[in-house]
Structure 1
Amino acid sequence: MFHTRVLAELAGGLRVLGRFPEAVEAGNDARERVGPLVPRLYPETQVMRAQLLIDLAWCLGATEDLPRARATAEEAVARCRDLPVDAEAPAETLLALALDCLAHHLELLDAHTEERAVREELVILCARLAIAGPEAHEPRLAVALDALARCHTRDGEGSEAVTATERSVELYRRAVGRDPRPYEPELARTLANLSVRLRLRGEFEGAVAAGDEALAITRRLAGADGEDGRSPVADRLRILGRARYRAEDDEGAAACFEEAETLLRELMKAGGPGTHAAGLAAAQSALARALGAAADGHLDAGRTDDAAVALRRLKELTARSPLTDVHAACVSTFARARDRDAEGTVRAWQRTTGESWPTFVYRLG
């Protein structure tokens, strides 16, 4: 059995290194050697076999062989259920790893009903493990709850999604209290998810608060991560911007989207034109909407000079964005502003910019 164990450990090591095709080859070889009779003759191989199947399933998924990855993960779950209680590794801990692997591949295969059932079982199992071993298993429970919240969101269960995410956040806060370094990034990520799910529920103040905290943590961590830390900051800025926009803080939303746009442009210069292009487009589109709403709000309040500043920022955005929806938003916003208070708005524009009212808007219209 020595050679078999070496192959199984090699498969696990190659998985860690990201050398997935080689890991699959070694794992398949080891799997063939551990046939159905071997665990009966050598009970000590049962844990090794279960761990091998988990590693092999992840590697098959990484090579995009999803049907075999699912089948292997299902076999891993079955083997983990059969492990003796006095196994050298806790049977339920391995079962949690196998369930997580299976749920991941079910999600990739769009087998959502089966995925949800597995994730619900995983949450129950992790909650039981966390009672006896909070340091080891509360973070695992936090991950499982956040993943289950995705299922709730997908199934239109917004309240359940928020509740699960709030539990996940609380567990990560406790984990951060014990050891900040590995868990603060996960706390920030889960707070950002909470912001999104609260916004979808119409709880905009809570969404802003969660988004603010997520951004604050991410900014602090980005200082240590350098270049790699700016992409998460841009993502969190967009999430907070959307929450502020729905909370009718249009200027605050615009500030978030403008900063995100700047960061994404810098990242694209460093990493190539194709990197972060989708994020940049989303930030610019959201910025155009926020600036249009800000201009409208200032005009409603009689603040024509502030409206002119928002209009100038919107016009400047069109100069650096090729997006059709951005230019359409500019046309519509300028037209609304002139229609509502032509004389006052035009004078405010001239005071603010020193330019004539942009007639190109009406030619495009």
Structure 2
Amino acid sequence: MFKRFNLANLQSDQNNVESAQANYEEALQSYRDLAAENPRTYLPDVATTLNNLANLQKDQNNVENAQANYEEALEIRRDLAAENPRTYLPDVAMTLSNLAILQKAQNNVESAQANCEEALQICRDLAAENPRIYLPDVATTLNNLAILQKAQNNVENAQANYEEALEIRRDLAAENPRIYLPDVATTLNNLAVLQSDQNNVESAQANYEEALEIRRDLAAENPRTYLPGVAMTLNNLAILQKAQNNVENAQANYEEALQSYRDLAAENPRTYLPDVATTLNNLANLQKAQNNVESAQANYEEALEIRRDLAAENPRTYLPGVAMTLNNLAILQSDQNNVESAQANYEEALEIRRDLAAENPRTYLPDVAMTLNNLAILQKAK
């Protein structure tokens, strides 16, 4: 049983999902049987296995089962914490945070925020007694809550929580930079995204640049782990620079990000090809604005090819990107008076977006309207 549990953890880390799930489920049944006779000893193991199984299911977009398992783990851990809070409250907070992440992804914002806030209060109480152990959890939960608040346009609270998380993580990194500098960079990047959205350009640029400097240093020692963060920050910084018409630096940063993602995708295409496509699309947008039509078209077409391949395996996740790239390519073709190709691409984008809007109108109807408008402009000009 213990070997099954440990093997499942290893397989999950190695992305051997099917075997990991089978072993978690077998371990879970064994712990349930033991807990039926000796709950005091084995209920904690039932909860831990439920939580780990739910993590695996969440990553596989098996939302219903993941939520059921998180909720059962949470119920067990609440009962355990009622008797022994010092031992089990940290597990309650962890499960609340995991459940909140799942709920946010499903746009169940109210429940996600309630769970995140409860987790934060627990972590604060624990950190008041033992800051060395629990302040990192306070910072992580603040960061997660701020991400949720930003998505709800609750800018003031999101900024306050990012800034508190950043302050905690800077203090932790001053004592242990190897462990906590990556978290400093993550929070700087997240705060900069918020500031960029609020047109606080100076602060956003300063935070992106600090995050980038930290991540470059980390990647120099461990590129496999930290190069993705370098590429992401370069991409974000380039978006900001493009909006400020700082074209030369934006292009240089997009191109460096693209090369990093290509290198990463050569080893791990499943994980990094989506980022290659996103960066190609962003670079093409910049090139189009500079009237570099040939390069823009080539990059849109490569992004489109990648996204079509991804959507063939996972349409729910990648079809929106296919539609967006078709729309962008059609705009470029329309500007070049390539009417036939533009119309074909608008019509395909429209068909995809209509299908998406049928399932999720709140998210995709604006894209349907935009594509209809673009298509009408093209048809009017014919």
Structure-2 change in CA distance of 1:26 and 1:279 (3 Å): closer
The Cα of 1:245 is off from its aligned counterpart by 3.0
Identity rate, percent: 25
Q: Does the aligned pair in 1 maintain the 2:77–2:88 contact within 8 Å?
A: no
The Cα of 1:238 is off from its aligned counterpart by 0.8
Name the aligned partner's letter for residue 116 of structure 2.
A
Relative to structure 2, which stretch is displaced further, 217-226 or 322-331?
Answer: 322-331
Deviations 1:242-277 (A, max 9, x none): 223334434332332232233334444x33777644
> Aligned residue for 1:318?
342
Q: Does the aligned pair in 2 maintain the 1:24–1:60 contact within 8 Å?
A: no
Bigger Rg, structure 1 or 2: 1
> Aligned residue for 1:178?
221
Q: Does the aligned pair in 1 maintain the 2:235–2:254 contact within 8 Å?
A: yes
Match of 1:222 among 262, 265, 276: 265
Matched, 1:24 2:71: yes
TM-score of the pair, normalised by structure 2: 0.70
Relative to structure 2, which stretch is displaced further, 80-89 or 247-256?
Answer: 80-89
Q: Does the aligned pair in 1 maintain the 2:139–2:164 contact within 8 Å?
A: no
Deviations 1:48-81 (A, max 9, x none): 4544443454455456543333223223222222
Structure-2 change in CA distance of 1:327 and 1:209 (3 Å): farther
Structure-2 change in CA distance of 1:61 and 1:284 (3 Å): closer
Q: Does the aligned pair in 2 maintain the 1:238–1:257 contact within 8 Å?
A: yes
Give the distance between the partners of 2:106 and 2:290, measured in 1 at CA: 43
Q: How does 1:236-255 map to 2 (within 5 A)?
A: 236-255=279-298
Q: Does the aligned pair in 2 maintain the 1:21–1:59 contact within 8 Å?
A: no
Name the aligned partner's letter for residue 14 of structure 1.
L
> Aligned residue for 1:137?
180
Match of 1:93 among 133, 136, 140: 136
Match of 2:161 among 118, 124, 138: 118
Q: Does the aligned pair in 2 maintain the 1:11–1:56 contact within 8 Å?
A: no
Relative to structure 2, which stretch is displaced further, 198-207 or 210-219?
Answer: 198-207
Match of 1:234 among 272, 277, 283: 277
Q: Does the aligned pair in 2 maintain the 1:195–1:208 contact within 8 Å?
A: yes
Matched, 1:6 2:71: no
The Cα of 1:110 is off from its aligned counterpart by 3.8
Give the distance between the partners of 2:144 and 2:316, measured in 1 at CA: 31
Q: Does the aligned pair in 1 maintain the 2:182–2:214 contact within 8 Å?
A: yes
The Cα of 1:214 is off from its aligned counterpart by 0.7
Q: Which has the higher helix share?
A: 2
Matched, 1:286 2:286: no
Secondary structure class of the residue paired with 2:126: coil
Q: Does the aligned pair in 1 maintain the 2:97–2:116 contact within 8 Å?
A: yes
Q: How many residues align?
A: 310
Match of 1:259 among 298, 302, 322: 302
Aligned-residue Cα RMSD (Å) equals 3.2
Q: Greater RCO between the two (CA within 8 Å, min separation 6)?
A: 1
Q: Does the aligned pair in 1 maintain the 2:262–2:276 contact within 8 Å?
A: yes
The Cα of 1:280 is off from its aligned counterpart by 3.3
The Cα of 1:143 is off from its aligned counterpart by 1.3
Name the aligned partner's letter for residue 241 of structure 1.
A
Match of 1:199 among 237, 242, 257: 242
Structure-2 change in CA distance of 1:215 and 1:327 (3 Å): farther
Deviations 1:1-32 (A, max 9, x none): 64564355345423422223211122123113
Give the distance between the partners of 2:99 and 2:90, measured in 1 at CA: 14
Q: Which runs of 5+ in 2 are unaligned?
A: 1-39, 59-65, 348-371
> Aligned residue for 1:299?
none
Structure-2 change in CA distance of 1:7 and 1:114 (3 Å): farther
Deviations 1:218-252 (A, max 9, x none): 11222222455433221110111122333443433
Relative to structure 2, which stretch is displaced further, 17-26 or 106-115?
Answer: 106-115
Name the aligned partner's letter for residue 231 of structure 1.
P
Deviations 1:99-140 (A, max 9, x none): 123223333444332122111111111122122222211111
Secondary structure class of the residue paired with 1:83: helix
Give the distance between the partners of 2:105 and 2:77, measured in 1 at CA: 19
TM-score of the pair, normalised by structure 1: 0.73
The Cα of 1:207 is off from its aligned counterpart by 0.8
Name the aligned partner's letter for residue 79 of structure 1.
I
> Aligned residue for 1:33?
80
